[in-house]
Structure 1
Amino acid sequence: MPHVKPPDLLTAMIAAGGSKVSQSTRETLVRAYMAAALLTLGAAFAVTVSTRVGNPLVGAMLFPVGFIMLYLLGYDLLTGVFTLVPLAWLTRAPGVSFGAMMRNWGLVFLGNLAGALTVALLMAIYFTYGFSVEPDEVGQALGTIGEGRTVGYAEHGAAGMLTLFVRGVLCNWMVSTGVVGAMMSKSVIGKVVCMWMPIMLFFYMGFEHSIVNMFLFPSGLMLGGDFTIVDYLVWNEIPTLLGNLVGGFTFVALPLLLAHGRQAGIGGSSRSQQEGTTTPSAPARESELVAS
């Protein structure tokens, strides 16, 4: 299977980050909405399988289906743009200003939230026959997940908050590795394999993904989970979001830039260098960035 070498991979990542910033508001929102919808359907599938067969590993092995489909279709998760867009900004990619990066993050967040909430509502209806009966064993499991990963952290105080943040960091280390993995190969099979491995790891290890949690916790509340919206925001979503931001950029984008920037011809182009350095060109056609 054709392999993209790391310097070329880095150039493609920068171009992908610049491409995402240049999208219109409509394009960004639609891509983000569909990304979260597909990802969270995969999460619902994984929880269903894990509950019914009694083996979490089976669920983890199947969870990457949603992630793989959304990236093959060219949709965007906030965790992915947390890695690609800052890299484009740091290396002075054309059109990537700090304000443009913040705009992209805000739109992707809103689109992801809407997509995840849509699936949360649909799955709550699915598990309760339109809220006419009590949730089945899978619905009850979703409620329990929400309790354990909110008040469960709160019971440990500051140590729980630190653990939550670290799990968010570890999660986007793996998820962003999967995002980059889609760009490592030029074949569909190669992309699937490179995405599958880190995503399976993050799900089985119970790391915290801000977009998956936008589905798990609202659906848990609708299915009778014993926690509140404030519990969810304070003891999961906000720390997880910050951890995801740190994990993707610090452990995926930055190491690749430091390790391969010179070979890619961009070693002196980052914003941390002196003013006046030349800005590298990282051209890439939109059609080449579908899997980014």
Structure 2
Amino acid sequence: MANPPVMTVCLAGNAGKYKMGLPVGQLLLRGFMSGVYIAVGAALCTVCGTEVAKFLGAGFGKLIGGAVFPVGLIATVLTGMELFTGDAMLGPLAVMMGKTGVGSVIKNWVFVYIGNFIGSMAWAYLMVLGPFTQGNFTTAEPNAFALNAVTIAVAKTLPYKSMGDIGWWSCLANGIGCNFLVNLAILLGITAKEFIGKFFGIWFPIMAFVSIGFEHCVANMYFLPAGLMVYQSFPKIADKVASTAADGTVTYWSPLLHKFGGLTWGDVWLWNIIPATIGNIIGGMVFIGVVYFLCYRNEFPEEHRPGYQSGASVGK
């Protein structure tokens, strides 16, 4: 069972109205939980994708990561938590439909973003202390999963940095593509009326964005800090950081790490999270929110049209 497209957009507008009206405490708490859920998917992607490319090829390695990552968004949507990248579409859509104001959207974005970051960071810290570290009471060292975490963090920052301005805009473009697919997943989840439909409606677009290699700011709030924390805890790991290209070529990232003096928090924000966030806003708000509003605004039932007031006389 599924809702027709126009009703899906109307329901998305209602969801936006509800979410934009939540108090700050709820935005922070629900944002925290969604950040944890997305980080769980990202951690699963890191672990399950470790060394797969070496044996089965880079494309299959990306597919494995893409196949397991969607657990985060599925959990977020089905439990009603708050994800910044989803609200980047739902909030503006509700504004265009006359259901909420711009101030409410800005409030939502700020506090959900903070909650997402805290949740993602908490899970990153947990992974670095736990599954990414091996040894005994006297010694500790990073394992293969930790090495992959550093590889992902380096590959998502320093190549952009090495390209300069073009790299920054490239990351922004990857953010646009990402949130186009993320919000397509959210609309498909709203379209479906039953669990199995919601599950696969969300799973396919999310699998696509991860496999393609687009940039999701909240996922990167886990990927990048996790890799950075491992790198800072075990600096010698830099010489082992490498990734496998589509043609089987192995690229070692140590020259780039040495060139830029390692990986820093400045790199994490300037060369990924900030441009990815801007791209995510554009991808969700413009390419899904605005486009779908323009597609169906003339077909909305009267109660979902901008300017509608409950109880007003017809034709008045």
Q: Note whether the superposition's TM-score is higher than 0.5.
A: yes
Q: Hey, what does 2:84 align to over in structure 1?
A: 78
CA deviations 1:219-272 (Å, max 9, x no partner) are 1111016311111111011100000000001111111111111111469955xx
RMSD between superposed Cα atoms in Å: 1.9
Rg: which structure is higher?
2
Matches within 5 A, 1:213-292: 213-224=220-231, 226-265=262-301, 269=305, 278-279=307-308
Q: Tell me, which stretches of 5 or more residues in structure 2 are unaligned?
A: 54-60, 233-261, 311-316
**Which whole-Å CA distance do the structure 1 matches of 2:191 and 2:110 have between them?**
28
Higher mean C-alpha displacement, 52-61 vs 62-71: 52-61
Mapped contact 1:35–1:76 kept (Cα < 8 A): yes
Q: Tell me, which stretches of 5 or more residues in structure 1 are unaligned?
A: 271-277, 282-292
2:95 is aligned with 1:66: no
Q: Hey, what does 2:254 align to over in structure 1?
A: none
**In the TM superposition, what is the alpha-carbon distance from 1:279 to its structure 2 partner?**
2.9
TM-score when scaled to structure 2?
0.82
2:104 is aligned with 1:100: yes
**In the TM superposition, what is the alpha-carbon distance from 1:52 to its structure 2 partner?**
4.7
SS of the equivalent of 1:116 reads helix
CA deviations 1:143-199 (Å, max 9, x no partner) are 121112111101111211121110000000001111111101100000011000100
**Which whole-Å CA distance do the structure 2 matches of 1:116 and 1:133 have between them?**
24
**Which whole-Å CA distance do the structure 1 matches of 2:187 and 2:281 have between them?**
15
Mapped contact 2:20–2:108 kept (Cα < 8 A): yes
SS of the equivalent of 2:182 reads helix
Number of aligned residues: 271
Q: Which amino acid aligns with 2:35?
A: A
Mapped contact 1:181–1:194 kept (Cα < 8 A): yes
**Which whole-Å CA distance do the structure 2 matches of 1:117 and 1:129 have between them?**
21
Change (3 A) 1:268 1:28: closer
Mapped contact 1:42–1:64 kept (Cα < 8 A): yes
Q: Which amino acid aligns with 1:122?
A: L
- Give 4+ residue runs of structure 1 displaced > 4 Å after superposition: 129-132, 266-270
Higher mean C-alpha displacement, 233-242 vs 141-150: 141-150
Change (3 A) 1:129 1:266: farther
Q: Which amino acid aligns with 2:26?
A: E
**Which whole-Å CA distance do the structure 2 matches of 1:280 and 1:166 have between them?**
39
Q: Hey, what does 1:48 align to over in structure 2?
A: 47
Identity of aligned residues (%): 32
**In the TM superposition, what is the alpha-carbon distance from 1:86 to its structure 2 partner?**
0.7
**Which whole-Å CA distance do the structure 1 matches of 2:133 and 2:178 have between them?**
31
Higher mean C-alpha displacement, 64-73 vs 122-131: 122-131
Matches within 5 A, 1:142-161: 142-161=149-168
